[in-house]
Amino acid sequence: MQIGAYTIDTPIALAPMAGITDKPFRRLCRAFGAGWAVGEMLHSDPAFRNTAKTLRRSDFGGEEGVAAVQIAGSDPRQMAEAAVYNVALGAQLIDINMGCPAKKVNRKLAGSALLQFPDLVEKILKEVVNAVDVPVTLKIRTGWDKANRNCVQIGKIAEQSGIQALTIHGRTKECLFEGEAEYDNIRAVKQSISIPVIANGDIDSASKAKKVLEYTGADAIMIGRAALGNPWLFQAVEALVEHDSIIQTPSLREKCGHILRHIQELHQFYGEQKGYRIARKHVAWYLQGIQPDSVFRQTFNAINEPKEQLIVLEDFLNSILDKEKC
């Protein structure tokens, strides 16, 4: 798949998720087969540019692949300036967020709230595209609510405005993450425009990924929530979609090794004061797929020192491995 000057060899992406798709997690998912990974959403308001959170989210140093930065906002000029600013920092691709359904984002007329105003959507897209020399992509939902599904209209506006690829989460803003993804609407958009279309929503297995690609005709898929605690999902999807083969997931011992390394990287990336807090949610997600344990989770969440976290986690994972031997 071609996005501007960039050739994406593997049509499987990690979705941008605020507070989750930081550098350590992006690197891990890429290692398991994600073709590209979009960074966490950045606010276009310049007042947020020099905060510790924004600087971490803007850090793509040492990563392989295209450095894709996602920006959000509703002021066309401010969005264009944010794009220019991030390209100057090293962004190789700008993704515009018009898909986030969160209330705190929508209250500022950003994210999926913009789908109510196609004229404003067009102004934002044209301003950003004309401001930078890197490819600009767009992520949307199927519409504002079930009575106002306008993804085909927005898709055409995007193509005419110079957008290089369009990702569609198959739900409306009103649906949040409830109900089933609307693959019919993704298919309708794909049939209406010629730029690459990336299907997103409810893709939680290799077989589902293949079915979605075949049904929608999309050029690629994007995986979000299903990757939490399950980054090896990309490996299975890549094998089936690209090579029509089914592979075994990593062994329990291999998974435990990856988990420990990921937690170590989180500690290093965020520092002692924050790393242990970020690690808690990732460990909870990992254990859901390995061995849920509410008692251990309580114990782990009470620890506020990175080294102790690692010791306790390693001991717990070793106990699981010992049981597997029996």
List, by residue number, the catalytic residues.
Answer: 100
- Quick one: which of 102, 86, 39 has its CA closest to 65? 39
Structure tokens at 126: 């044209």
Beta carbons within 8 Å of 248's beta carbon, 6+ residues apart? none
- Quick one: which of 204, 221, 324 has its CA closest to 15? 221
Give the helix/strand (H/E) hosting 142: strand 136-143
Rounded (10°) CA dihedral 247, 33, 287, 314: 100
Q: Which residue has the tokens 């390394």?
A: 261
Which residues pair with residue 40 across a beta bridge?
A: none
Structure tokens at 35: 């073709």
Strand, coil or helix: 92: coil
The CA-based angle 170-151-105, given to 5 degrees, is: 70
Contact by Cβ (8 Å): 109, 74: yes
Contact by Cβ (8 Å): 214, 244: no
Contact by Cβ (8 Å): 54, 48: yes
Contact by Cβ (8 Å): 297, 284: yes
